[in-house]
Structure 1
Amino acid sequence: MSLDLSPNALIALQARYLRKDPEGRVIETPEGMLRRVARSIAAAEERWTGKEGVRRAEKRFYDLMASLAFLPNSPTLMNAGNGLGQLSACFVLPVGDSLPEIFNTLRDAALIQQSGGGTGFAFSRLRPAGDQVRSTMGISSGPVSFMRVYNAATEAVKQGGARRGANMGVLRVDHPDILEFICAKDGEGELANFNISVALSDAFMEALSAGEDYPLVNPRTGLEAGRLEAEEVFGAIAEQAWKNGEPGVIFLGPVNADHPASHLGQIEATNPCGEEPLLPCESCNLGSLNLVKLADAKGRIDFHRLGEAVRWAVRFLDDVIEVNRYPLPAIAETTRRTRKIGLGVMGFADLLLLRGVPYGSDAALEAAEEVMAYIRQESVAVSEELARERGPYPGFGGSLRQREGGAPMRNATVNTIAPTGTLSLISGVSSGIEPVFAFEYERHVLGTVLQEVHPLYSRCRQGGRQLDPEVFVTAREIAPKWHVRMQAAFQKYVDNAVSKTINFPAGGTVEEVKEAFLLAYELGCKGLTVYRDRSRRSQVLNVCDSKCSL
């Protein structure tokens, strides 16, 4: 099966994924890459299905990827079958309140980033700036100062020879240094290797709703260290997010209430893009289904093909856990205890274009719920089947599902909506569940500027077809409330979380940002990230100044 790849997809593959010789020359074809990945992951099958099962799985895995109906996360494409063998994209590491713990975690993060993984950290356990350090009789410099140390270290580590390191920094809203944290990226270029998010508790949201103040807590002593008006803090978050897109927010209540393995601990942080809430020392591997490849020319999903794709994609992701070479023993232990996977989608906006359905509409929300409910149903069914065949995840006893009498599952979680940036470029479809950013735009990939024209838009222009202004709309032209409602529609059928940017036009207001955060909480989202167009001088995606080449 030959791959249907665009010139820009080939450029991205050559830059990031295909094997190179010691002189940096590409020595692998895209087909060779997929065969390498399929062979490496299918090897896990021998334990349960024998050599014949390995051969069957290898063919299925290759065909699924070569058709571009499914692709796993980037570290799997880069590292499967290679010496490194680290295949997970998402990690969360604990940061303890002592100098040895802080720098041990930094060392661990460097190893993960070197292998192509992204790291999330909760800095909420660190004592605040100005607090006493009994061992030296000095004073603490606080979480933000150590984030700058982590940021500098990440700058020096290039992921897998192909990607810069990515971090998520999280601080609880009741930490005494919360206002400093909210403004930590006030200047463009500050903490450039971090996304930052404020962890909002249900208690804070209740104080905000009631117009009250709330207590700050010193994590070293557990004692109250002052009080702040909830509206003041919420306003600061919204203003900074309006100014440059950060911080985002994580809603700790829904995250932990819905966590299937909550009996094993509390979630404090997520991976860099926010779609994967994880326990400390936990990792997860992701994959995405290409909805365009699983639909006809009018955007009608072939549910039989989709079901088969889910079946083999879930199996693939579970096999990744078996063959993965984890960077640290603690990560291997925690990950194998829960066996979390995250199967999601890409090309959703293209599916709507094929159907002639506006992204900002009730019909689009119905389409989202229909397709994700089916993927969820089938993902759970496959995980239950794998549990019967291979045994449930070791931490299943005492889980929410076990307490409610549900059937054992092989994986604590099965679904995630990831951003799929480069994967969607390779596949030639829109990213994740995002609307089309622009129909003609520039993408910056490792210093290379790629001009892109949306394939459906291009075909319509070349054919002289009239474009429906309600359907062919871009992310900035869709009202923020529809962005939020779309995220919430997918979240209903996702046990992890959803990566989604709530786009605002350049003229959006701080009040509108506040409204988006509140609506997301009301609708059951687990977090939210907003971005106002042109609020940063440097953007990964930019509308072309002149017409891109068709």
Structure 2
Amino acid sequence: MPVSENARTVLERRYLKKGMKGDPLETPEEMACRVAYNIALAEGLYYGALPEVMLRWAEAFYAMMLRLDFLPNSPTLMNAGRELQQLSACFVLPVEDSMESIFEAVKNTALIHKSGGGTGFSFSRLRPHADVVRSTKGVSSGPISFMTVFDAATETIKQGGTRRGANMGILRVDHPDILDFITCKSQTNRLNNFNISVALTEEFMKAVEGGEEYSLVNPHSREVTGRLPARDVFERIVDSSWKNGEPGMIFIDRINRDNPTPRIGAIESTNPCGEQPLLPYESCNLGSINLANMIATQDGHARIDYDKLKATVHMAVRFLDDVIDMNNYPLAEIRTMTVGNRKIGLGVMGFADMLIALGTPYDSDEALAVAQELMSFVQEESGAASCSLARERGPFPNYDVSVFPERGGAPRRNATTTTIAPTGTISIIAGVSSGIEPVFALSYIRNVMDNDHLVEVHPLFAAEMRRRGLYSVERMTELSKVGTLRHLEGIPEDVARVYVTAHDISPEAHLRMQAAFQKYTENAVSKTVNFSADATRDDIRKVFVLAYRLGCKGVTVYRDKSRDEQVLNIGGVNAKEGAQEREASPAPGPEPFVTPRPRPDTLIGVTKEIKTSCGKLYVTINRDEKGIFEVFNQMGKAGGCAASQSEAIGRLASLALRSGVQPGMIVKQLKGISCHLPAWGGNGGGKILSCADAVSKAIEWYLENFEAMFPGFPKPVPGAARPEAKKASHSAWEEEIARGACPDCGSQVERQEGCLKCRSCGFSEC
């Protein structure tokens, strides 16, 4: 396989079979052979198990993957031909309004996450908070409280997995608890294993447009419990999405309009990233065609090679249909529903690379035309391939109760064939841009061994710059810092116009591209509409309204740096703190200087030992009659940089304390700073991200335990910024993500296609 060194690292860490010591037992080429042969065994179910037939298709599947023309979703690459043999990426589980159903769903969620899948739920059937439960005469705790149970189960299961479990939580907009749901993730230490979306109905959207009220309905009693102004609720969704990117919106009636099997059931939820609507107990197998490989050159001009694309689509549809038969489903109910409808989701990746090869700017009318022409072709040919398979093998079992007999035409093998899914790590393996997203960065810094760094440059951009004699490591390093050609001198205008990145593109252009693909996609499209940090609520509102009017099935937005505690890529304050400072800034003028109070001869204090990656750190905290006075840091037997920096942190913290700075403010500034090698602190210390982080945790420990250590002394005032000790903490990897750093390698993470991922090491939140 023509994979890069970075892709090979990703494969070794997450996909290849490993020995007892964690060393790879196969090469990427052998992985492709394993997967291809295993999936081709399904051909024997239809053609008498003839070895020559299975071998012929195994060779064809192998060649397709070896060229990186097509790759299936991650569970198929990881598990095909191995003991687990669970090949699906996405599932939806029902959650009915009973304790038995809720905890059955929790158990099934654990089984799915253990096998590498993600799950979607609608909590819309659960009775609202404080509703009377007749069997016990008690009151219901509501859907949000039960979401925390699912979240905790996911947290436990994902710790040892090669692919972290993810959830989608959906609540209908007419549920009585909708206002609480909209803001349930406003605190960043809750429901971190969930993406959340509000299911908007046509009735609600019409009420928004007309400025009218709409009804809230208790799902248990079916009684109207109240009415709300639709625009007020819509504005709450806008406000919450502006603050931290959630909730997203899905247009549930529009999704059910395209439900191919409405007589079997209504669609209530999607998979975690929103692109795959599914019935309860249904799963779907996804795969993506590498559009960067579908380019041909004629007379010096690049064009889309539709002949190659057609052949790849037909073979990919056959591959995905075979996956259904080779899958080891985690539940019997999932097998029944999945085999009954045989849904597959063929999508694309490398679309931005294709546009660059064609010389077409992503944010142009020409690009929208390419998108519609391309996806209409994929949709038509995938349908034709499904019909061809139906002639060979028969239509999907539920075909007779589907919408297709009424429409006429040839029977189909699959209820759906197309989905634009997140390509997460498989686009890294293929070395191309993600899904239909624009290029996230033309140049970025990748962390390598020994805390060294390597400049990674988009290959097409690097080739173009070399062709023009403009390539240099210095220029590429500068580009990795500014992030866009529009802020880099010496770049020709035509190059800057074609090589645009995600943040060069307006939110409206992002959304119009999503709508262009949605027009010819049977399921849905996973895409993130990126906003700059200074975007307003009005900007978010316009995109949500436009998504509805353009025919999208859902929309997810992300305003850069909108997550609390996220470290800025350029600058040193987080977005929330910076906004508060701007609002409260006094008029410019000279600031009075503070004189630290003098040190007395005698102080009383304690010493806390914390384990760091540099050795044991001894933090001594002394106080006088007014409160905490100083902090001394001693780094065990270590010397050099670690010891000197620890001493410097202590001196500066002491200076701040003696100058009247509240201890909680010091905790806030130091907590969460990370180095290249975190460690577990022991004695309940949790994960220690750096020496600075260790000092913050020592001060926090002191504030929490002061009364027990010094009975009779006045308790120190921690300050308004003191973190609350009683709050549920992030998991280790969530703390890293909250700061914008990859939990595995420390590199910058990208938010695309509805999830976070790291292009350096292949970490993916989805």
TM over 0.5: yes
Aligned residue number for residue 532 of structure 2: 505
Query: What residue in structure 2 maps to residue 344 of structure 1?
Result: 347
Matched, 1:7 2:11: no
1:267 partner amino acid: I
Other structure's SS at 1:470 match: helix
> 2:128 matched to which residue of 1?
128
How far apart are residue 170 of structure 1 and its match?
0.3
Distance verdict in 2 for CA 1:287–1:338, change over 3 Å: same
How far apart in 2 are the matches of 1:486 and 1:286? 21
Q: Distance in 2 between matches of 1:35 and 1:258?
A: 37
User: Is the counterpart of residue 27 in structure 1 residue 54 in structure 2?
Assistant: no
Please state whether the residue corresponding to 2:539 is helix, strand or coil. helix
- Distance in 1 (CA, whole Å) between partners of 2:46 and 2:188 is 52
Give the structure 2 partner of residue 75 of structure 1.
75
Deviations 1:416-470 (A, max 9, x none): 001101010000000000011111236899xx99964322222233443555222
Query: Paired residue for 1:434, among 429, 433, 437?
Result: 437
Give 2:460's match in structure 1, choosing from 436, 456, 461: 456
Residue 469 of structure 1 aligns to a residue whose secondary structure is helix
SS at match of 1:163: coil
Q: Does 1:404 align with 2:414?
A: no
* Equivalence for 1:204: 204
SS at structure 2 position matched to 1:156: helix
For the 8 Å contact 1:476–1:533, the answer to whether it is kept is: no
Q: For residues 450 and 182 of structure 1, what CA distance do their matches in structure 2 show?
A: 41
2:391 aligns to what SS in structure 1? helix
Residues in 2 aligned to 1:265 and 1:210: alpha-carbon distance in whole angstroms: 31
**Contact 1:113–1:160 at 8 Å: present in 2 too?**
no
Give, in whole Å, the separation in 1 of the partners of 2:504 and 2:319.
38
The gaps in structure 1 that reach 5 residues or longer are none
Q: CA deviation digits over 1:391-431, x for unaligned, max 9?
A: 10011113222111132100000000011010100000000
Selected match of 1:330 from 318, 333, 346: 333
Greater relative contact order (CA < 8 Å, ≥ 6 in sequence): 1
Residue correspondence of structure 1 range 232-243 to structure 2 within 5 A = 232-243=232-243
Contact 1:259–1:495, Cα closer than 8 Å, also in 2: no
1:496 matched residue in structure 2: 523
Greater displacement, 435-444 / 284-293 = 435-444
**Contact (CA 8 Å) 1:116, 1:160: kept in 2 or not?**
no
Deviation for aligned residue 1:263:
2.3
Match of 2:479 in 1: none
Q: Matches of 2:447 and 2:152 in 1, distance apart? A: 22
Could you list the per-position Cα deviations for residues 462-511 of structure 1 after superposition, in whole angstroms to 9, with x for gaps in the alignment?
A: 44355522211111121111111111110111101000101111111111
2:460 aligned counterpart, secondary structure: helix
Spell out the pairing of 1:182-193 with structure 2 (5 A cutoff): 182-193=182-193
Matched residues in 2 for 1:158 and 1:452: separation? Answer: 30
Counterpart for residue 36 of structure 1: 34
Name the counterpart of 2:505: 478
SS at match of 2:399: coil
Deviations 1:106-144 (CA, angstroms, capped at 9, x unpaired): 100110011110000000001111111222211111111
| Separation in 2, partners of 1:371, 1:299 | 15
Secondary structure in structure 1 of the residue aligned to 2:417: coil
Would the alpha carbon gap of residues 26 and 57 (structure 1) be closer, same or farther in structure 2, given more than 3 Å must change? same
Matched, 1:151 2:151: yes
Aligned counterpart in structure 1 of residue 546 of structure 2, from 519, 540, 550 = 519
Q: CA deviation at 1:160?
A: 7.6
Deviation string, structure 1 residues 184-209 (Cα, Å, up to 9, x no partner): 11022321111000000001001101
| Cα separation, 1, equivalents of 2:10 and 2:154 | 22
Whole-angstrom distance in 2 between the partners of 1:381 and 1:160:
42
Change (3 A) 1:444 1:248: farther
Show the counterpart of 2:163: 163
Partner Cα separation in structure 2 for residue 301 and residue 395 of structure 1: 36
1:58-103 superposed Cα distances (whole Å, 9 cap, x missing partner): 0010000010000000000000000010000010000011111101
Q: Identify the residue that residue 725 of structure 2 maps to in structure 1.
A: none
Counterpart-to-counterpart distance in 2, 1:278 and 1:373: 22
Larger radius of gyration: 2
Provide the rounded CA distance (Å) in 2 between the counterparts of 1:498 and 1:355.
23
Superposed CA RMSD in Å reads: 1.8
How do residues 104-115 of structure 1 correspond to structure 2 at under 5 angstroms? 104-115=104-115
Q: Distance in 2 between matches of 1:159 and 1:386?
A: 40
1:357 Cα shift?
A: 1.0
SS of residue in 1 equivalent to 2:57:
helix
Find the counterpart in structure 2 of residue 356 from structure 1. 359
Residue 408 to residue 84, structure 1, CA distance change in 2 (3 Å)? same
**1:382 alignment partner in structure 2:** 385
Whole-angstrom distance in 2 between the partners of 1:440 and 1:522:
35
Residues 364, 160 of structure 1: CA spacing in aligned structure 2 closer, same or farther, 3 A cutoff? farther
- Determine the C-alpha separation between the residues in 1 that align with 2:88 and 2:444: 30
Residue of structure 1 equivalent to 2:763:
none
Seen in structure 2, the aligned counterparts of structure 1 residues 473 and 207 have a Cα distance that, compared at 3 Å, is same
Q: Tell me the distance in 2 between the aligned counterparts of 1:147 and 1:452.
A: 40
SS at match of 1:216: strand
Pairs within 5 Å for 1:160-309: 161-296=161-296, 299-309=302-312
SS at match of 1:264: coil
Distance 1:53 1:352 in 2: 38
1:141 maps to a residue whose letter is: S
C-alpha distance in 2, partners of 1:451/1:10? Answer: 17
Q: Deviation of residue 161 (structure 1)? A: 2.6
Give, as a single letter, the amino acid of the residue that structure 1 aligns with 2:20: P
Query: How high is the sequence identity, in percent, across the aligned residues?
Result: 57
What is the distance in 2 between the residues matched to 1:519 and 1:51?
A: 54
The CA deviation string for residues 221-277 of structure 1, in whole angstroms up to 9 with x for no partner, is 000011111111110111111111110001012100012222221100000011100
Q: Is the 8 A contact 1:129 1:142 kept in 2?
A: yes
Q: Give the Cα–Cα distance (whole angstroms) in 1 for the partners of residues 192 and 406 of structure 2.
A: 43
Q: SS of 1:45's equivalent?
A: helix
Structure 1 position 215, deviation (Å): 0.5
- How many residues are matched? 540
Runs (4+) of structure 1 moved beyond 6 Å? Answer: 448-451
In 2, are the aligned partners of 1:249 and 1:528 still within 8 Å (CA)? yes
Tell me the TM-score normalised to structure 2 length.
0.69
1:47 and 2:45 aligned = yes
Deviation at 1:542, TM superposition (A): 4.5
C-alpha distance in 1 between matches for 2:90 and 2:454 = 27
- The residue type equivalent to 1:397 in the other structure is D
Question: Would the aligned equivalents of 1:307 and 1:375 in 2 still touch at CA under 8 Å?
Answer: yes
Paired amino acid for 2:395? P
- Structure 2 gaps of 5+ residues are 471-490, 567-737, 743-747, 751-759, 761-766
Residues 1:444 and 1:235: Cα distance change in structure 2 (over 3 Å): farther
For residue 459 of structure 1, give the secondary structure of its aligned residue in structure 2: helix
Question: Which SS does the other structure have where 2:207 is aligned?
Answer: helix
In structure 2, what is the equivalent of residue 531 of structure 1?
558
